[in-house]
Chain A
Amino acid sequence: MMIVLPRPLIVLGGAWIALVAISLPAWGAADSGFASPAGATIVGRVIFRGTVPPPEVIQVTRNQETCGASQSIQPMIVDPSSGGVKDTVVSLVLQDRPVMPATEQSSTIPTVTNRTCAFHPRVGMAKTGDLLETRNEDPVMHNTHIYADNRTFLNVALVAGGKPVQKKVRSPGLMKLTCDAHPFMHGYVMVSDHDFVATTDDLGRFSIAGVPPGKHEISLWHETLGALTKQVTVPPQGELSVTFQYP
């Protein structure tokens, strides 16, 4: 038996279904165009309470006109008033992953730029499936040599005024960058297979939106301060505030 509904009711029902569909949780939809993704937002800070060691000063022997007479290498960038630590990678370790967003390529291309004989950013992020780009803005030759799991992921010459080079990222994990032409240059790219990852800003702050509810582990990585983990229970909506402290 077929039930025939009045036309206004069908229109109303259709509108209701559409409303429900767009309000369903879209986990990992941080860059999917939604103004406020479903799920909670984890906001937090990473701080360091201790004495920051002095930077390592390396005398530059080649390309001084571009690289300077010396390079001051300081991986620990700590805000003096708040203790916030820059360039810490904050990543969610998902227990139950509702979807696998990593199959989609990001709309932006993660890029590492060689500028004044340093990698910018020094600590970057990429997602599996992304094209990772490396480019050179210096008037001297660099080679971006990227290792992943002790194996060369990419080693390309970037001559002055040359073309940027892109390569697809396949596996999650930490990639190490160096330049054999300027051995004091070091950088990192953390590759994730999901969107729930962030790096801390100048004040040590981070924010990860659209996090599915439940018990999760937050994992931290910093070049010199190492790893930290914390278990959190994420609510269905709203904000969860977390503070990490090294050491």
Chain B
Amino acid sequence: MLIRTLVAICAGLAMLGGASVAQAMKPDDNQATREKGKQIYERSCLFCHGGAGKGDGPAGWFLGRYSAPRPRDFTVGEYKFRTTASGEAPTDQDLFRTLTRGIPGFMPSFAGLSAEDRWALIAYIKSLSDVFRQEAAKPLSIGLPSIPPTPESLETGGTLYRSLECFVCHGSSGGGDGPLAEAGSLHDGAGLRIAATDLTNRASYKNGASPRDIYRTLITGLDGTPMPSYAGQFAGKEEQLWHVVNYILSLSPEVRP
């Protein structure tokens, strides 16, 4: 137990340290940085996201021709993975997280690029949409500590999962097979058919599968998809969302090889 706690503390410190180091590598957002970012973009991103960033690169066309997700169109300024409220621009850190982690099953991790190069790439991507010049990104707070997944918490979470009608898309057992998903009624902003996340398989959680990742997804929603933000429904009783997080994670017991 003690060893596990120490490992968790060390991992937490390492993550914090990593984030700080990455932040320290962030160059000024100026013409030279954007130019450097453009060169990296043309080497690493163009094939999916296209020459003008419209999500219509030669490989992207085949990826998202008939079903979602199509590669992001950076000229629109709409992003799924954010810490900001529904319909708002993401923070730089949000873009850095997606670029570093990748999107399971769809976009590779670009952690192989130096932190400075990733920031330059973000500066260039932001220059493709007016949204970043018009809106100041304000992250939502995830200040509360998570709640341990006790049987009581899981029961409360299960009740909320049903009353919030999560099952309509994700299914009663979380298999991504709810009635709307099965009927093919779910579409993204481009009108392409989109699947509901299979909550029994953590590898399919595109916005991450840690408790904080799931909490973030619940309060921000995933813009451009049917997944809505639940922030307004839990204002003043945010702790209840941790029960939902615990229940969702209980649907996909971690399998250790």
Interface residues of A (CB under 8 A from B): 61-62, 140-141, 143, 145-147, 149-160, 162-165, 167, 170, 180-181, 183
Q: What residues on B are CB-neighbors of A157 within 8 Å?
A: 164, 221, 228-230, 232-233
**Shortest Cβ distance from A164 into B: residue:** B232
Q: Which residues of A contact B134 (CB under 8 A)?
A: 170
| Residues on B with beta carbons closer than 8 Å to the beta carbon of A156 | 86, 221, 228-233
Residue ID in chain B nearest A151 by CB atoms: B78
List the A side residues contacting B224 at CB < 8 Å: 151-152
In the bound complex, CA of A146 to CA of B85 (Å): 14
> In the complex, which residues of chain A have a beta carbon less than 8 angstroms from the beta carbon of B108?
none
- Using a CB–CB cutoff of 8 Å, the interface residues on chain B facing chain A are 76-78, 85-87, 131, 134, 163-165, 168, 179-180, 183, 185-187, 189, 221, 223-224, 226-233, 235
Question: Which of B85, B179, B226, B233 is within 8 Å of A61, CB to CB?
Answer: B179
How many residue pairs link A and B with beta carbons under 8 A? The number is 88
Q: Are B227 and A155 in contact (CB under 8 A)?
A: yes
Contacts of A141 in B (CB 8 A): 164-165, 168
B168 & A151 in contact (Cβ 8 Å cutoff): no
26 contacts between A and B (CB under 8 A): A62-B179, A62-B180, A140-B165, A141-B164, A143-B226, A145-B228, A146-B87, A150-B76, A152-B78, A154-B87, A155-B221, A155-B223, A155-B228, A155-B229, A156-B221, A156-B230, A156-B233, A159-B163, A159-B165, A162-B233, A165-B232, A167-B85, A180-B180, A180-B186, A181-B180, A183-B185
* Chain A residues with CB under 8 A of B186: 180
Taking CB atoms, residues of chain B closer than 8 Å to A146 are: 87
Q: How far is the CB of A119 from chain B (nearest CB, A)?
A: 15
Q: How far is the CB of B249 from chain A (nearest CB, A)?
A: 20
> Which 7 A-B pairs rank lowest in CB-CB distance, beginning with the nearest?
A180-B226, A143-B228, A165-B232, A152-B223, A141-B165, A157-B228, A151-B78
Q: Which residues of B contact A158 (CB under 8 A)?
A: 232-233
Inter-chain contacts of A162 with B (CB < 8 A): 232-233
Contacts A143-B226, A151-B77 known; A159 to B164 CB distance under 8 Å? Answer: yes
| Contact status B164-A152, CB under 8 Å | no
A62 to B163, CA, bound (A): 15
Q: Are B233 and A159 neighbours in the complex by a CB distance under 8 Å?
A: yes
Chain A, Cβ-Cβ closest to B186 = A180
Q: How far is the CB of B85 from chain A (nearest CB, A)?
A: 8
CA–CA, A241 to B72, complex, Å? Answer: 49
Decide: A155 near B86, CB < 8 A? Known: A143-B228, A183-B185: yes
Q: Are B168 and A62 in contact (CB under 8 A)?
A: yes
User: What CA separation (Å) do A157 and B222 show in the bound complex?
Assistant: 12
Given known A145-B228, A159-B165, contact A154–B233 (CB-CB < 8 A): no
Instruction: Specify the chain A residue showing the minimal Cβ separation from B183.
Output: A61
Q: Which residue of B lies closest to A141 (CB)?
A: B165
Partner of A154, one of B86, B131, B230: B86
Highest count of chain A CB atoms <10 Å: which of B85, B168, B183, B187:
B168
Residues of chain A with a CB closer than 8 A to B232's CB? 156-158, 162-165
Q: How far is the CB of B70 from chain A (nearest CB, A)?
A: 12
Report A-chain residues with C-beta under 8 Å of the C-beta of B231. Answer: 156
Chain B residues whose C-beta falls within 8 Å of the C-beta of A62 in the assembled complex: 168, 179-180
With the chains together, A165 CA to B78 CA distance in Å?
Answer: 20
Q: How far is the CA of A22 from the CA of B179 in the complex (A)?
A: 62
Q: How far is the CA of A159 from the CA of B163 in the complex (A)?
A: 8
Q: Do A180 and B164 touch (CB < 8 A)?
A: no
Q: Which residue of B lies closest to A166 (CB)?
A: B232
Give complex CA distance A86, B191 in Å. Answer: 28
Kindly report which residue of chain A lies nearest to residue B221, judged by CB atoms: A155
Name the residue of chain B whose CB is nearest to the CB of A152.
B223
Name the residue on A nearest B165 (C-beta).
A141
Q: Which B residues are CB-close (under 8 A) to A163?
A: 232-233, 235
What residues of A have a CB within 8 angstroms of the CB of B180 in the complex? 62, 180-181
